[in-house]
Amino acid sequence: MENSDQPVDFYKNLESPLKQSEEELWDRIAARTVDRQEPKSAKLVRMANVWRVAAACLLLAAGLGVFLRFYTESVVSPNGKHISQLLPDGSRVEMNAATVLSYKPYWWAFSREVELKGEAYFEVAKGKRFQVKSVQGITQVLGTSFNIFARGHAYRVFCKTGKVKVLSTQSSVELTLDPGQLAVVDNQNKKGKIKSVSASETMGWKTNKFTFTSEPLRQVLQEVERQYNVKIHLALDKSSHKLYSGYFNRSDAVEDVLKVICLSFELQYKEVRTDEYIIYSSM
């Protein structure tokens, strides 16, 4: 019989069925570690994808910035129509017939600037500098009301309220206007002058009344074309030397307007087809 007082090494006699050598154990651990490590090529591919996404985001942001900076809205007032347009800051523009107004709505907070072809009356909300650009000149204001005529070679600016600065784009002419003053810029001769006029004399078109004082006949007829959306042929060799003084109301029939104008010069008019007329000498 064995001595029960003698300690028995119970665990010493047990053997694990999974018993392995030290070398085998380290080999298994190393193999698992290698399996879990990402290949270098995969890391490079992932980094390349990150850079592609970053570059795409930058291009998208740049494209959006360009769009916001240069996107332009244009408003057209056709022949025979007067249109009113509200700008993003609440400034109001009344456009005469045959007029185009363009501006950048998404860039308005940074620059209050419009482009004008034709004639329009502006009531500008107070704020930073407001600028109207035309081929013939530039008008700068802060908060005021004014009228601009920019057609052909003619550039005229009338200041109704506030103060207006007028600069020619084709010469060194620079004029500053107070209320009731009209700037007349002659780009052909590179000259400019200021004269005092009444608002009704230069802005009568807003109430459909058109007044002319010693205006070339051809220019008067061009205004008739714009207001009535008609075509007028002037069959006169020296028509540019004829000056007309008078007025007409847009509520009058175009035939009545042409009759009055022709009487001043002993001329005749005839309708050659619908909305198309010819003016000729009766002598």
What is the structure's pLDDT at 11?
Answer: 44
Spatial CB neighbours of 230, under 8 Å, sequence gap ≥ 6:
224, 254, 275, 276, 277
Find the length of the chain.
283
pTM across the whole model: 0.75
185 is written with which tokens?
């810029």
> pLDDT tens-digit profile of 258-278?
999 999 998 999 999 999 999
pLDDT band of residue 17 (cuts 50, 70, 90) is very low
Burial of 45 (0-12, 13-18, 19+ CB in 10 A): exposed
Question: Does residue 2 register a pLDDT over 70?
Answer: no
Tell the residue number behind the tokens 């995969």, with chain if given: 42
- CA dist 226 and 79 (Å) reads 5
> pLDDT tens-digit profile of 45-62?
666 677 777 777 777 766
> pLDDT tens-digit profile of 162-205?
999 999 999 999 999 999 999 999 998 899 999 999 998 899 99
Question: Does residue 79 register a pLDDT over 70?
Answer: yes
Tell me how far CA of residue 151 lies from CA of 9, 77, 98, 133, 204, in angstroms. Answer: 115, 14, 10, 13, 17
> pLDDT tens-digit profile of 112-170?
999 999 999 999 999 989 999 999 999 999 889 999 999 988 999 999 999 999 999 99
